[in-house]
Structure 1
Amino acid sequence: MKRFKNYLIPLILLVVLLLSACSSEKTASDSEMKKKEPKKETVEKAPTEPEEMVSNGAGEHYKKVKELEGDALDEEIKSITKEFPKNLKSEDAYNRIIAAFAADHQPAFQELEDFDITFEEVEAYEKYQEEGGEEKKEGPLNVAILLDASGSMAAKVSGTDKMTAAKEALKKFAEGLPEDANVMLRVYGHKGSNADKDKKLSCGSTEVMYPLGTYEAGAFQESLSKFKPTGWTPLAASIAAAEKDLQGKEGNNVVYIVSDGIETCDGNPVEAAKRLHESNIKAEVNIIGFDVDNKGQQQLKAVAEAGGGEFQSVSSQKELFDEVESNWSKAMHDTRINWASAMDITDINWSSSNKSMEMGKVYTGTVIESLKDEWSLLKDVKMNLREQKKLSDEELAKLDELIQERYETLMDFAKKKHEDKGEALKAERERVIEFIQKAADEARTQQ
């Protein structure tokens, strides 16, 4: 028994040593296996929606390469992508490329989003409405009076001849003009006679008797004494001459005509009035028909409408005075408002056109350029991977499709953003024009 114990202890020690060795071998083997296993790398899947493509911002290495070109760019791309594994699938390669090289499109899209589509011209009208300010005025009031001096104006009405009544009414009207207003008097048909032999001379007679300037009672009265009613009625020629009189004159322009008959010199006063009103002068043509028959009233009314003004028919000296005092004064008030609003609407249309062009520059010169630059960079990365033989030709073709798909998705997104902004600009322009027209309508009722 004692001899057995002597053998048992060494045997136990041997078993322990063998087990320890096995354990050590297993630990060493496990460690070696772990070293040989490739490190698993998680690459985030590239976004597929354009909003996320933009919001994700720049890739990890974009700042390193965005300013580089040529060989310097190729070397930097190669340095970054050399750790990419070989035999990549197209989707894995695409995810890696986007994570590393995607451009930062946020600033470009934000610039388009923040583009200012408001119009400064509306501020004056908003102030007027909110604070009850004075009516909007821009520039002086320029009043061009055209007086018919044809032979028929010598006829009597209400105990006096029509020319005398007209002169007295116009003198009273000129006296009542605002101090800052300019006035002029042009007469027509005052030469020759109303005989056929003098038609050419008379139809060519349209003359300024009082040049455009501030009202001076003595000088204006003297101008009224320089002519008498004699000849034919060159109304169209006189309106055309008034357009030249007012050309280049800054301010609110309005034309007032006193006539007792229709055009008799083969002119087209409707077309002349329309051309004057639609010119850069923006003048309104208001007409008083003094003792005019039905045919004459219809033509003079058409002339006034074409000139953006009003026609009134009077048959006595008292009616002529009343018309000059009431409706002509209102027309002057309306002219200030109409001219200011028309000028502002013109300015808004120009401003809208300019804004559209500036916004187009942001779209093409900033947003689209950012997308094109990224597309070109991603193509360079793809070619670099091809040189490194990281992908098969088949996978490279698929990678190219993924890059192109991203580019087209972002381009469509940018186009929609630009179109939406353009529609917003158009809507704002229409809103402002409607607002100004409404403000002008309200101002016209506050006389």
Structure 2
Amino acid sequence: MNILKRGAILVCILSLVVIAACAKDQTQTENRKSAKATKAEETAEDRIPTAARTVEEMVDQKAGVLVEKHMDQKLETLGGWDGQQYLDFLENTFNPIADKEFKAYFTKHKNLSGEQVYDFLVHKLGSGNYKNYYEQLVAYEHGFVMPELPNGEDEVTTKQKKMNVLVLMDASGSMKGRIAGKTKMELAKEAIAKFVEQIPDDANVALISYGHVGSSADSERMASCSSVDSVYPLSAYQAENFTNSLRSFQASGWTPLAGAINKAGEILQAYPSDDYSNLVYIVSDGVETCDGDPVAAAAQLQSQNIKAKVNIIGFNVDNEGQQQLKQVADSGGGEYVTVEDPAELEVQITKKWQPTIGQLVWTQGVTMQQMIKAMERMNQIYNPLFTASDAEWNRIKHAAYFLHDEKLIADDVEKQVLQLADSRHELRNQHFKEIKKDKESEREQTEKEINAKVEEWRQQWKKE
């Protein structure tokens, strides 16, 4: 073999050596990068944030990683029978996911202290519901207001708001029924005529009839249910005009009670409660038959700025009708009474409903309905907050028991984790309870003060 050939072979061999060396270097470089990346990931995984230790920190706490990823957080705030949905979700879905991840993590990370384990579990299982409900709890107000209590005749005259009186007359076919020789419609009209004669001179009155079109036949239901008319528009009382309005309709069709209440609300929109006392009076002998929701309609009158109070007289009403009409009156912040005969009807309308200065004596303090609503608002805030705290506590305890059963943490570590979970749970809940107790004490104290002053004022008026 000549020198040139041997040189060419040598060059080839050297090239192959260089290529192999380069490939080896590249592989080593990639391995080092991969190792660094793995080490960086492990380091990031090891950097578990310290769990909240104070109430303030716990309130600001974000949802745990697993909770945020796998759980609808509203689930953990459900109480009562609905709480079973959360328990079923834990057992069937969430706990198997969490247990698998914890087993993998603690198989790699052994000999952690109790605090480190607790921090990890809060990082994964903590509740993110505290802040929203806590802020509502701190901001909670009972909403009770001292009613206006005039102290003398001059004050009664100057402080009494101008009055709007809306009378809603059921003109459904059932009002054709006869009692003591007259129809219920005739008897109701006579009583209402006497009632409006006694309203204050500066008061406005309106007469709304409903269900007075068509008949009780199915074919005329739509027309009848849409028949709600202000037959005497809201204005000063004029006897002749009002009498003519009473005569302008007769008992006829279906019962759109909700529609009539909504109509009253539309009329009163221009009369805010700051300047007007808005009163709605209903005479009816039965329930809604037009698929409306009179309870919701009456509640709407109370929730709007008109604050219209709904009072109802049920005239010769069956048990089902009485129950619904009472619910409507309760929802509208008014009173319900039932009467069976003409004499009783006249007494209830002309005496109990009489909106004169004497009505001031009926002024109430904090009503049972107001108290119940205030308590319900508190429960809607406090119960989810308390339930979320319990849910986090139980998730952490379940995880600690699981890790101990799997021999991934020692006895003393399990004990320390449980102690930390118990102490943080108690710290949270005690703080929440104290705020609730203070708010309830304030509510009860205000209720007593208002009721005492109203009763004192009422007794003063009785003496006079």
Provide the TM-score with structure 2 as the length reference: 0.47
Provide the TM-score with structure 1 as the length reference: 0.49
User: Which structure has the greater CA radius of gyration?
Assistant: 1
